[in-house]
Amino acid sequence: MNSQSINKPVLDPSFYQLSLFWTTLNISYGLGLFVLFGWLNYQVAIGSWSVVLKMILMIPLTTVAATGLFVLAGLGHESLHGHLCKNAKWSLAIGLFFSSSVVSYFDMGFTVRHWDHHRYTNQKNDPDLIPTAHLTSWWQRLLLSRLIFNVIYMKYTLTMALGKLNLVEKYQTPYTPGDMVFFARLNILFAALWLAVYIAITILDWRAGLFGIVLPSLVLALMSGCQSYLDHAGLGDDPFNNAYSRTSPIMTLIYFGSNYHLEHHLYPKVPCYRLHKVHKFLIESGLYDQIQPAITRGFLESYKTLSMNNRMFENTQH
């Protein structure tokens, strides 16, 4: 069906309402998983159990701790959409602080590009397409995607902090030049604070640094390397079918609700913790019967997209 003939249903204002409770829960959830399971991983590492038993226990513990970091990084995304509090600048500052817990990830570099990602989703001007377009195998994407994007975000943040805005002038953002410089510098300050804490922990006990921070961070790089492919790979630029809704409960736990990515693109002002309700509403409204959206219901099924190319990018190559 031609998407031009489809009207997007209007949501009740309650869908957009921010909740201090849910924001606090989101932050606490990420911090809790990272700190608690990172500490448990460290306790297992220094325990007197056999090496085999340690490995059996540490694999899930490291993964859950990495999930905590993943949730904290996701707060940066929620913050730029103004979902953490009513004041947009305070929301961004809060998101920058918690996302800076991920070493080498500078969310301000992501932030200035993300607005164009929404504006040109899966089109040739989508800033999320070109940097990893040369990665064609699933293992290249798994291992290299996060590294490539983190280098880009770091470069953008550092240049903005120096007052050089030539890299970001092409992006349409709600930020003034002064805002971009200020928040880029704030991002660097927050990153330095988190890094100082990590270094102090490692100096006190190198095993705490290795098993509680470094290993979860490495697993996070693999988890987040899948991100753009799980969200958009294999789809075109139809605004009603340019992103996936991943409805697995495990995905909801990992992403704190932002796994309903099609709903996020349709209604970017709705906080992640209400996107599942938007999904239900769109089913009940009959919209999804018309458009047959890209929905993946199984946890492992979602990862099939890691081997898919973006259709818009394929079209530009022929």
Query: What pTM value is reported for the model?
Result: 0.93
- Residue 113 included in any domain: yes
Q: For the chain, how big is the Rg over CA atoms in Å?
A: 20
The predicted structure's pLDDT at residue 317: 44
**Residues 247 and 230: beta-carbon distance below 8 Å:** no
- Residue 310 included in any domain: no
Digit-by-digit pLDDT tens for the chain (318 residues) are 556 567 899 999 999 999 999 999 999 999 999 999 999 999 999 999 999 999 999 999 999 999 999 999 999 999 999 999 999 999 999 999 999 999 999 999 999 999 999 999 999 999 999 899 899 898 999 999 999 999 999 999 999 999 999 999 999 999 999 999 999 999 999 999 999 999 999 999 999 999 999 999 999 999 998 888 999 999 999 999 999 999 999 999 999 999 999 999 999 999 999 999 999 999 999 999 988 999 999 999 999 998 887 665 554 443
- Residue 278 included in any domain: no
Residue of 85, 123, 127, 122 whose CA lies nearest to 109: 127
pLDDT per residue as tens digits for the range 129-150:
989 989 989 899 999 999 999 9
Q: What is residue 109's three-state secondary structure?
A: helix
Contacts within 8 Å (CB) and 24+ apart, 276-282: 276/252, 277/15, 278/11, 278/15, 279/245, 279/247, 281/9, 281/11, 281/15, 282/9
Q: How many CB atoms lie within 10 A of CB 201?
A: 16
**Tally of structural domains, the chain:** 1
**Interatomic CA distance for residues 180 and 200, integer angstroms:** 30
**Interatomic CA distance for residues 21 and 177, integer angstroms:** 33
The predicted structure's pLDDT at residue 26: 98
- Residue 97 included in any domain: yes
Which structural domain, as residue segments, surrounds residue 40? 19-238
Cα 80 versus chain centre, distance: 12
Residue 291: both structure tokens together: 């458009």
- Residue 141 included in any domain: yes
- Residue 167 included in any domain: yes
Residue type, 12: D
The predicted structure's pLDDT at residue 265: 97
- Residue 220 included in any domain: yes
**Interatomic CA distance for residues 65 and 63, integer angstroms:** 5
- Residue 61 included in any domain: yes
Cα 89 versus chain centre, distance: 19
The predicted structure's pLDDT at residue 309: 78
